[in-house]
Every structure is written in C-alpha cells, then in structure tokens.
Structure 1
Amino acid sequence: MYEYQKLTPTQRKQLVQERVAKGFPPHAPPHPIDLQTFYLLTAACYHHHPYLTTPSRRQQLLDLIFEYFITHGFEIRAWVILPNHYHLLVYVHQFKTLGQLFKSIHGIISRQWNLEDKATNRKIWYKFSDRAIRCDGHYYTTLNYIHYNPVKHGYVRSPYDWTESSVGWYLETCGREWLRDSWVKYPVLDYGRGWDND
C-alpha cells in the first residue's frame, strides 16, 4: 500500500495492469491460494496509525474476532492484538467468507471508535492479508512469530508480558517447557522481515 503511494501515475497504471493480468484485485492484497487449511491472517490499521492504544480496545477487538470467527466455524489457534495491527493463526474451512468477516468486524469497530473519538468518516482499517501455512515447521514458526510480535515491536521485553496474545493460553495449557522447546526448535529469526512495509 505505502509503496504504491510513492509510484508515479504511469508506474501505478502499469502495476494495476500487471495485477489484473495475474487475476488479482487491482488494489487489494492478493489472496491467490485458497486450498490450504491454516493461514496467518494479518490486519493493520490504516497507515499503521495506533488506534488500539488501550487494553480495553484491544480486548474489545479480540472478543469480536472470536465471536465472529467461531460463529462461522473458524478455529483460532493463536493471536496477538497490537496498537496498530494484529495477527491470527486460523484454521480456515471457507476461505471465501474471510473478506466478509473482516468487513463486518472492522465496520463495527470503526463505527464505534469514530463515534467515541468524534472523528467522522475516519478510515481505521486497511484490508487484511493472508499467508498459507505450508508445513508443520512453518506452523510452529508462525505461532512463535505471533507470540514474539509485541517484543519485536518494542512494546514489552517478554512475550509473557503482553496480555492480548495467546501466549498466556499456551503457557497455561502446554506449559513453559513446551513453549521453550518450541522456541528452540522453531526460531523466529528474520521471519516476517519487511511485512510492516506492506
């Protein structure tokens, strides 16, 4: 999105033509793979503005995500809600319904927060992106990436210090030793490098 804004009108036109030729939407993130079962789903606030600065807003969004996703038969395996974006690791049984789910969730949140902040017609969300999980190693590295995200962005020193994350659930369910072994076996390293420029 941000790279597109830096292009000349001619470059933009050429990029749109290339996207359409590949079967992608002209301006939205492409979703070319819809046969997988697990996906890393990411949604960011428009221009990465931190609209989710309070724990109550992050929890409100998380509650709405769980309500909508579970009602529609999706299984959320991991999550993290940060001040300007969030990640979900989800079992996706009907890929085509994801767009409508995000539209509904983001629409409800946008209306409420714009009313609270007295900000008429403010755009809060950009479109979601997805990355299909390819194998077990990719799954567990993604899980660790999600839990490490608050540390990566400098919000906390330890993943266990961030409340709006599934790391606490994994700690309670699987134990600290399981989490430690997972970190060693499936290190994050440079996983996700450059994603914040999307």
Structure 2
Amino acid sequence: MEKPPFTNRHYNTSGHAHELTYSCYRRSPYFNDPLACRLFLDSVRRAQIKFNFHLWAYIIMPNHVHLLIWPCDQEYDISKILQAINGAMSRRYSRLLRRINPSLHSTFFERDSKNHGFRFWQRGGGFDRNLFNDKAIYDSIRYIENNPVRAKIVQTTEQYNWSSAWHVLNPEKFRPKINRGSVPVRMVNRY
C-alpha cells in the first residue's frame, strides 16, 4: 500500500513569523532558470501587497526556496499566502513554458501518479515553522541567507543574486520589498 504524502500543518498565530521551505518536484533544479526565479519573486511581491506581510529573508536555491515572512494582520491564513505565491508562480511558469518552450514544458508533467498535470513543487505543502523570539528569527535569517555559502556556490551571502542579502544591497523594482525595519528591535543592530 502506498504511503500518503506528508502534509504540512499551518498555525496562524498572531505575532509569529513563518519560516517556509518549499522544494521543487523531485528536487529538480528548476530554479537554474532565471525566469523561474523572477516569476517566483514577482509572485512573492504580489502576495505581499494582497496579504499584508513583511518579508524578512529569502533565498532561491536551484532546487528549493526559503522565505521568512511576518504577517502584519492579527488574523491571516498562511495557506492562502502560500497558495498566492506558489500556485500563482507555478501557473504562470507553466503558461510561459508552454508558449516559449513546449518540449521543456512537457518535462514538468507528473508521470508516476493518477495526476498527470504540470508539477513545479514537491507534494506535501513544504515546511512551515512558526518563530516568535528574537534569537530564533535572527538564526533563521542567517540560516536562509547562508544557504549558497554552505552549498559552496558563493563565498559570501551578498554574492548570491537570488537572496535577500544581495537584494538589500541591490534593490530592484520587480523584487518584493524586504522589511528589515520590522524585525525585532534587538536584532536590527546585527545587520
């Protein structure tokens, strides 16, 4: 009997930050395509406007992403935020690939299940960890931004183009806004 896929639980607790991790389907390096990176960041930017959250850190690695967000509203639904980011990005990327590169588009289809549709993200909803103290939030930012250094892609966090560390130094209008000013006060002096 086949084991059901892991599904993530989300806790919508006011004042908590969310450390989010999502992998590409079968851990494929889909984010080696800069277009996929740009579409993902644009989806984060759009969701940021629609759902009123602060983005404290992000990294787009070749086969996964990490986000650290802080919903500003007392009541929110993290699942809707994630759907606005990941669902929108996947649909837009699928439409674009179908138009500009149909043969590449066909490689994104699930072949080993009852669902044969376009699949960008790994099943199961990723990982969502609620953070509520300064140290955990600071450690999360450092962990997220150091991913490409640990992977030996770059020597310093600021050298990696698809990260909040690079973005803080090189803001671009298509990228989401980094809200480091809302990070807990004791952390601000560490940047």
TM-score (norm 1): 0.67
Deviation of 1:163 after TM superposition, in Å, equals 1.0
C-alpha contact (below 8 Å) 2:18/2:129 kept by paired residues:
yes
Q: Which of the two has greater helix per residue?
A: 1
Larger RCO: Structure 1 or Structure 2 (Cα < 8 Å, ≥ 6 residues apart)?
2
Residue equivalent to 1:107: 91
Residue equivalent to 1:29: 7
Show structure 1 runs of 4+ deviating over 4 A.
169-174
Residue equivalent to 1:136: 134
Identity of aligned residues (%): 23
Task: Say which of 141, 153, 171 aligns to 2:151.
Answer: 153
CA distance in 1, matches of 2:147, 2:137: 15
Task: Say which of 40, 48, 51 aligns to 1:61.
Answer: 40
Show structure 1 runs of 5+ residues with no match. Answer: 1-8, 17-26, 184-198
Bigger Cα Rg = 1
Residue by residue over 1:78-132, the C-alpha shift from the partner in whole angstroms, topping out at 9 and shown as x without a partner, is 1111211111110124124234313223222233235433223442212332111
Cα 1:35–1:79, aligned 2, differ >3 Å: closer, same or farther? same
2:24 matches 1:45: yes
Deviation of 1:171 after TM superposition, in Å, equals 5.2
2:64 matches 1:85: yes
C-alpha contact (below 8 Å) 2:161/2:167 kept by paired residues:
no
Residue equivalent to 1:164: 162
Q: How many residues align?
A: 156
Partner amino acid for 2:61? L
Residue equivalent to 1:196: none
CA distance in 2, matches of 1:115, 1:154: 35
C-alpha contact (below 8 Å) 1:43/1:86 kept by paired residues:
yes
Partner amino acid for 2:120? I
Partner amino acid for 1:151? V
CA distance in 2, matches of 1:105, 1:59: 9
Show structure 2 runs of 5+ residues with no match. Answer: 110-117, 171-177, 181-186
CA distance in 2, matches of 1:70, 1:128: 23
CA distance in 2, matches of 1:87, 1:153: 14
C-alpha contact (below 8 Å) 1:58/1:82 kept by paired residues:
no
C-alpha contact (below 8 Å) 1:58/1:83 kept by paired residues:
no
